[in-house]
Amino acid sequence: MNDEQEHDGMRTIGHFIGGDDVEDGARTQPVHDPATGRVSARVSLASPATVERAVTAAQAAFAAWRATQPLTRARIMFRFRELLERDAARIAALISAEHGKTIDDALGELQRGIEVVEYACAAPELLKGEFAKNVGPAIDSWSEFHPLGVVAGITPFNFPAMVPMWMFPLAIVCGNTFVLKPSERDPGAALAIARLLAEAGLPDGVFNVVNGDREAVDALLIDPRVQALSFVGSTPVAEHVYVTATRHGKRVQALGGAKNHAVVMPDADLDNAANALIGAAYGSCGERCMAISVVVAVGEAVADRLVALLAERIARLEVGPGTRPGVEMGPLITQAHRDKVRACVESGIEEGAELVVDGRDLVVPGHEDGFFLGACLFDHVTPGMRVYREEIFGPVLCVVRVASQEQAMALIDAHEFGNGACIFTRDGEAARHFTDHVQAGMVGVNVALPVPVAIHSFGGWKRSLFGDLCAYGPDAVRFYTRRKTVTQRWPGGGVREGAQFAFPSGASGR
């Protein structure tokens, strides 16, 4: 059976459960090609019964999988990595067709996901625990990391391959089984990945995919067999996921929204800063949780020069379908999202910001029905404006003017989100002060997109993260395992001991 069925001439994308392709055809939703605006497929939206079937499959696979040696789990990840590289072009084309991002951007996304898979290949080292000999007379103590059981991931549309790989590789090598609920807007990559895991030798039921909407999400949040849940998306949904899932006794990491600021100091290399900001603001059409959406220019002269450089570079930006060579920015994901971003731009005009570059009327020849919006650049933005307060998630960059680094940092610290921030400067003292004190979880110095590499962990501060542990890296090993500490004693010499009533301590030897 194939997960993609034909109904009335339209391809239907189903689910992957227990090693089999499953279709739950009661409800479906269109999947669009954002570059053309045409419906390319329909995705099946899982009913609660289908979600329950996936959790049941994961639960059934758990006992055998947790007993599997970490080295065996790692070897499956090694094979999975090879298959991802073998099929990289195919997966990137699938991402571009459903999301709209350029092929190069899709390949870059996939590579960052592969780096997490490579980190997960170190499972024997990551899970070896800690040992202390002779903590008391003939007493040894050690800690072990045990899997939780069935865990789940709910992922967004903007990185349909990378964000799931922030979650399931480490969850799986830690001995858990996994249910993934990807975005229903671009579900193809998740199913392609599921097939590669099966080809790599992952046992049936260890990794399952259910496509769906809020009905599927809520079923995962309340199922008592799901022990932990990872989420990436908007802050309102992240908060709902965190509150609901924790109320049902689950461990949760829920990554929410962002409003990432870039501070440009008077001594910065403005040419390099402008180039970096163009990519960070308009790459993937701004649909990145680490996109730079606010530039804080320190000083009027810096602001004037920087705005001119940004406008000049925007004029040369190549916009079109992601599959066309040379294109630097593709369409937005849906027409509804494009309309939302346009409305936000219009609110900026109404509130008094200066729209230096207006991309609202962009037309891509041959793709007039695509969900395109050109790059927009605002100057003289103030903190009270909607374009400053909200996460726009589109190709809109705002410039705020301040007089000092202290004012720039105060803006960042006062915002409800604390995902990422960066500074462009040649001054080491200014950079050190910024990295030490700015209220954000991921910080860059002359790096516009300070996304941590796989050996570190990804997560923001304030209302950008609900939960105590971040995604991937060392935090993920802690999130997907439960610590058990064992203290063991083998009295020798046939000595018969009396009862001890004082609380045992290392000093007393008890």
Count CB neighbours of 351 within 10 A. Answer: 15
E strands of 173-324, at which residues? 177-181, 207-209, 226-232, 251-255, 260-264, 292-298
Tokens of 119: 């980190």
CB 479 within 8 A of CB 126: no
Helices (H) and strands (E) in the chain, counts: 16, 24
Tokens of 275: 């180039």
pTM, rounded to two decimals: 0.94
- Cite the DSSP H helix spans in 46-160: 48-66, 70-86, 88-99, 103-120, 123-126
Overall average pLDDT of the 184-193 stretch: 98
CB 144 within 8 A of CB 129: yes
Q: What is the DSSP letter of 378?
A: E
Burial class, 176, CB count within 10 angstroms (exposed 0-12 / middle 13-18 / buried 19+):
buried
pLDDT at residue 133 above 50?
Answer: yes
For the chain, give the percent of residues with pLDDT over 90.
92
The 10s digit of each residue's pLDDT in 423-479 is 999 999 999 999 999 999 999 999 999 999 999 999 999 999 999 999 999 999 999
Tokens of 242: 């965190």
Count CB neighbours of 125 within 10 A. Answer: 9
pLDDT at residue 152 above 70?
Answer: yes
The 10s digit of each residue's pLDDT in 308-333 is 999 999 999 999 999 999 999 999 99
**Which H or E element spans position 442?**
strand 442-445
Give the right CATH number for 260-445 from 3.30.360.10, 3.40.50.1370, 2.60.40.1180, 3.40.309.10: 3.40.309.10
The 10s digit of each residue's pLDDT in 210-263 is 999 999 999 999 999 999 999 999 999 999 999 999 999 999 999 999 999 999
Distance between CA atoms of residues 274 and 328, nearest Å = 16
Residue whose C-alpha is closest to residue 342's, from 332, 329, 354: 332
Instruction: Give 206's contacts (C-beta < 8 A, 6+ positions apart).
Output: 58, 61, 65, 172, 177, 178, 197
Q: Beta 396-402 vs 292-298: how paired, if at all?
A: parallel
Cβ density class 482-499: b for 16+ within 10 Å, e for less? eeeeeeeeeeeeeeeeee
Where residue 4 falls among pLDDT bands split at 50, 70, 90?
low
Distance between CA atoms of residues 401 and 67, nearest Å = 58
Distance between CA atoms of residues 85 and 89, nearest Å = 8
What pLDDT score was predicted for residue 18? 98
Residue type, 236: P
Overall average pLDDT of the 370-392 stretch: 98
CB 239 within 8 A of CB 466: yes
Q: Cα dihedral sign for 432, 436, 437, 442?
A: positive
Any catalytic annotation for residue 344? no
Q: Which residues pair with 481 in a beta bridge?
A: 147
The 10s digit of each residue's pLDDT in 344-364 is 999 999 999 999 999 999 999
Overall average pLDDT of the 142-161 stretch: 97
What pLDDT score was predicted for residue 63? 98
Distance between CA atoms of residues 122 and 132, nearest Å = 23
Specify the range with the lowest mean pLDDT, choosing from 20-29, 216-225, 281-290, 295-304: 20-29
Tokens of 294: 């606010």
For the chain, give the percent of residues with pLDDT over 70.
96
What is the overall mean pLDDT for the chain? 95
User: Which is the catalytic residue, given 121, 174, 285, 289?
Assistant: 289
The CATH code of domain 4-256+464-484 reads 3.40.605.10
CB 234 within 8 A of CB 265: no
Where residue 492 falls among pLDDT bands split at 50, 70, 90?
confident
The 10s digit of each residue's pLDDT in 387-399 is 999 999 999 999 9
Q: How is the chain split into domains, by residue range?
A: 4-256+464-484, 260-445
The 10s digit of each residue's pLDDT in 9-42 is 678 999 999 999 998 868 999 999 999 999 999 9
Residue whose C-alpha is closest to residue 397's, from 299, 303, 301: 303
Count CB neighbours of 365 within 10 A. Answer: 6
pLDDT at residue 8 above 60?
Answer: no
What pLDDT score was predicted for residue 337? 97
